[in-house]
Structure 1
Amino acid sequence: MATPSEPIVRRKLSAQVFERLKTMVTDGTLKPGDAMPSERELMERFGVGRPAIREAMQTLGNIGLIAISHGERARVLPLTPHSVISQVDLAAEIMLSTSPAALDHLKEARIFFERGIVRQAAEKASPQDVAALRALLDEQEAALGSPDIFIAADMRFHTRIAAICGNPIFEAVSGAMLGWLKTYHTEMLIWTGKENVTLVEHHEILDAITRNDAGEAEAALIRHLERSRALYVHQAS
């Protein structure tokens, strides 16, 4: 009885070059900071034309494995949680701009994520962590009336809480979600005059963290995010 045959799929040359170059990066042949071989070297090594090399290099650049600069050799980048997660920034921006439902889902996801973060941060916070958060609130209070500076300090306050946990993925995800939400936030915040309310709520969160009270820190954060979620509005709403 004959067995079913599988079709032979011809892979693009650039895809094969990409796999070989990716292996050179992931197996340590090329380390962060190293210059990539020149196009001519790669053409001779792999026996392919310049278009295949350039397409493969562009793919490596698009996923954050290398940095491509005009007139210079491409260089290998270190992979970090931030660099990996930032690769979806453009896709997230498009998704949010075309879907009010996606914005609602993101706001819900942020609350779900940050309530766990703040509990762990409250349990782990040192006097130095508390001092850093207090300094950020001082910056935010000094920025009243300056929307961009106020919002930037607001974002740093939340990402600094995530950093207390000691998990760089927490910090990267927190920063990414705040960055995606920012477009839908600033004008509504200033227009509704909620800056002082935000500061009061941030102080409540910080007071609980200072006492290492995980339960109250979570409750204060939920109150803050549930109240402020109404300030993120999709243009199509």
Structure 2
Amino acid sequence: MELKPIHTRKIYEEIVRQIKELIGDGNLKPGDRLPSERELAERLGVSRASVREALTALAAMGVISVRPGEGTFVQTVRNGAIVEPLAMALLMDRQAAVDLFEARGVLESEAAALAARRGSKEDIEKLGEIIKEMERQLEENDLLEEETDVRFHLIIAEAAHNSVLARLMYTVSETMRQVLRDSRRRLYEAPGNSEKLLEQHRLIYQAIASRDGRAARRAMSRHLHFVIRELKRER
């Protein structure tokens, strides 16, 4: 895989262009694992922050997927024509925090309802394990970890068993992690919020496990409205 040193103002855009070009030329194929963030930064001659921003943009476009503990991989199926314009617009507009959460609320409330009806036994077991992990984090550190929260919501999107909805949710989630990084950190750190968030996630899980689509939709909607209110206080 050949990567060229970068000399441009918008460094992350050039990284995005090079990786997309490698995929288009067939030098990177669906399922291939990308080099680590540090290795990419060294080979491109840029900072790790620029690489991280580029990878976030590529993930939001649906070009790559990030698997915690495994690495970053070229997506097997790409619906970039649908999600790429949305992802790039949101990445450029840093003032869209509340709008982004409202859009997520529309998607994810329905995803929770679908997950309650369609989720497999394995899907529900995964959600249960994440709730246990959240409980451990709160007990040990008095704080929930963002990565665990994100995984919970993405598993719900997958449990809905609708490929387009899952892709849209992944796009929104990855974009949100980029544009709301500081706001989300403050959300978790605010006194009492981790306890409230855990209880909200627990109610969502219980509704999905009980196969109650209405309750799942309602629990998810209430959870996201709470997050929106907290984000508005931070602005």
TM-score (norm. length: structure 1): 0.61
Separation in structure 2 between the aligned mates of residue 164 and residue 123 of structure 1, nearest angstrom: 9
2:201 matches 1:202: yes
Separation in structure 1 between the aligned mates of residue 149 and residue 28 of structure 2, nearest angstrom: 34
**Counterpart amino acid of 1:75?**
L
Q: Deviations over 1:104-163 (max 9, x none)?
A: 22111111111111111101123222111000111222223376x711111100110010
DSSP-derived class of the 1:212 partner? coil
| CA-CA distance at 1:227 after TM superposition | 1.0
Separation in structure 1 between the aligned mates of residue 84 and residue 22 of structure 2, nearest angstrom: 14
Separation in structure 2 between the aligned mates of residue 65 and residue 169 of structure 1, nearest angstrom: 25
**Counterpart amino acid of 1:130?**
I
The structure 1 residue matched to 2:147, chosen from 139, 144, 152, is: 152
Q: Which residue of 2 aligns with 1:166?
A: 161
Unaligned runs of 5+ in 2: 3-13, 31-74
Q: Which residue of 1 aligns with 2:115?
A: 121
Q: Which residue of 2 aligns with 1:226?
A: 225
| CA-CA distance at 1:187 after TM superposition | 1.9
The structure 2 residue matched to 1:130, chosen from 124, 128, 134, is: 124
Q: Which residue of 1 aligns with 2:98?
A: 104
Q: Deviations over 1:37-92 (max 9, x none)?
A: xxxxxxxxxxxxxxxxxxxxx899468363499xxx83344552477747865542
**Counterpart amino acid of 1:200?**
E
Separation in structure 1 between the aligned mates of residue 156 and residue 231 of structure 2, nearest angstrom: 21
DSSP-derived class of the 1:66 partner? helix
On the 8 A contact 2:87/2:172 being kept in 1, the answer is no
| CA-CA distance at 1:193 after TM superposition | 3.0
Unaligned runs of 5+ in 1: 1-34, 37-57
Q: Deviations over 1:141-195 (max 9, x none)?
A: 2223376x71111110011001012223322322222233331312232123311
Classify 1:234/1:203 alpha carbon distance in 2 versus 1 (closer, same or farther; 3 Å). closer
Higher relative contact order (CA 8 A, sep 6+): 2
Separation in structure 2 between the aligned mates of residue 233 and residue 62 of structure 1, nearest angstrom: 37
2:92 matches 1:94: yes
Classify 1:190/1:82 alpha carbon distance in 2 versus 1 (closer, same or farther; 3 Å). farther
Classify 1:227/1:63 alpha carbon distance in 2 versus 1 (closer, same or farther; 3 Å). same
| CA-CA distance at 1:234 after TM superposition | 9.0
Q: How many residues align?
A: 173
TM-score (norm. length: structure 2): 0.61
Separation in structure 2 between the aligned mates of residue 60 and residue 226 of structure 1, nearest angstrom: 34
Matches within 5 A, 1:1-237: 61=17, 64=20, 66-67=22-23, 74-77=27-30, 80-81=77-78, 85=83, 89=87, 91-95=89-93, 97=94, 99=95, 102-144=96-138, 145=141, 150-182=145-177, 183=181, 184-233=183-232, 237=235
Q: Which has the larger radius of gyration?
A: 1
Percent sequence identity is: 20
**Counterpart amino acid of 1:153?**
T
Q: Which residue of 2 aligns with 1:39?
A: none
Separation in structure 1 between the aligned mates of residue 103 and residue 86 of structure 2, nearest angstrom: 16
On the 8 A contact 1:121/1:165 being kept in 2, the answer is yes
